[in-house]
Amino acid sequence: MQQPISITGISSISPLGVSTEEIWANYQTSKHCISLKDFDGNPALVAELDDDTKAIIEELRSESDHFKPLDNSVLYGIYASRKAIENAGWTSNKDFGINVGSSRGATHLFEKYHQEFIKTGVSSTLSSPTTTLGNISSWIAHDLQSNGPEISHSITCSTALHAILNGVAWIQSGLTDTFLAGGSEAPLTGFTIAQMKALKIYASEVDKPYPCQSLNWEKKRNSMFLGEGAAMVCLEKGNVDNALAYIKGIGYATEPLKHNISISTDADCFQKSMQMALGNSSIDEVDAIVMHAPGTIKGDKAEYNAIKAVFKDEVPALTSNKWKIGHTFGASGILSIEMAILMLQYQEFIPVPFITYERVPKEIRKIMVNAVGFGGNAVSILLEKTNRN
């Protein structure tokens, strides 16, 4: 890191809720947000927004005729972005860069328009502009009246953390002092879930207390399931007085592609990204790691092997939120960042129910957050506690 970067605002919308108080309260319980939903006769485990949160999005949709045809992934992003800049104290016309990515983009709308085309042979007028990946960042910029650069990208499940990397790079280059970064995902459609089931990684058992077995090293079945949501962070140059956390280090790596979805047994990409993120920090300074750990047998174990290779006898306390809210694809990394910031703020470690912890940190000063996408696109971000926490 050439210079310190502060996170001065964060906001999310997910099955955990929308307010900091509600989200933190849900993290402190042993309950998950999983339910069984029917997709045209095909039931699947998912983590949906609750009815109150869905009503918030529908209220946002009704604000403007321009919003009515937009996909939920766009509206989730707009809502979280408004709240994030409000939390940071930015004015709506402040010039800042925006990088909001999504793994799937406007999945629901794309499927809807494609079905219409199959039936009629005609495409809807808005089928292209409302399903283009870039319209999340573009609509957020339009809504917030920002004149900074707008970037959208998809790097599957590490998309949101790559957005933070881009924000850090822009700030450190001197091209801007502020950046809004994050990810948004609304993947709960029949086709998307069928895709995951075809990969044999989707959770199938509903009769256990915790259908997703993220961080259960002894599990005998793949247990990933999908959730929806979005989160945004406001990044500013320097150690800002109202910072929620500092970005102490960033790391990234990509493995040579051996399979379309897998990473190596010892997750070489994670080893490299974590070592890069550590920078000058020693391994014993990291108090906790929020793992990517989607609940698959090979994916969880590979990341764990990488952590042991990097941290050796100093493995930090390990946690994840996917057993609660599922895998939100491109938004998953930023929701993990939010979890880490909350632990730094409240100085309380949030455990997972599958680990017997020999010890948990009494003081939490640094937390590493991991994310990886199909094919081994890993990102690790090291967060540090501020003096205000």
> Is residue 40 a contact partner of residue 190, using CB atoms and an 8 Å limit?
yes
Average pLDDT, integer, range 233-249: 96
Query: Is the C-alpha dihedral spanning 199, 204, 208, 210 positive or negative?
Result: positive
pLDDT tens sequence across 348-359: 999 999 999 998
Task: Compute the distance between CA of residue 116 and CA of residue 308 in angstroms, rounded to an integer.
Answer: 50
pLDDT tens sequence across 107-147: 999 999 999 999 999 999 999 989 987 689 999 999 999 98
Average pLDDT, integer, range 244-251: 98
CATH tag, 5-384: 3.40.47.10
User: Is the pLDDT at 1 greater than 80, yes or no?
Assistant: no
Task: Compute the distance between CA of residue 160 and CA of residue 137 in angstroms, rounded to an integer.
Answer: 12
The secondary structure of the chain in percent helix, strand, coil, rounded to multiples of 5, reads: 35, 20, 45
Q: pTM of the full predicted structure?
A: 0.96
Three-state SS at 142: helix
DSSP H/E element including 81? helix 72-88
Task: Compute the distance between CA of residue 233 and CA of residue 314 in angstroms, rounded to an integer.
Answer: 30
The partner residues of 251 in beta bridges, in order of sequence, read 380
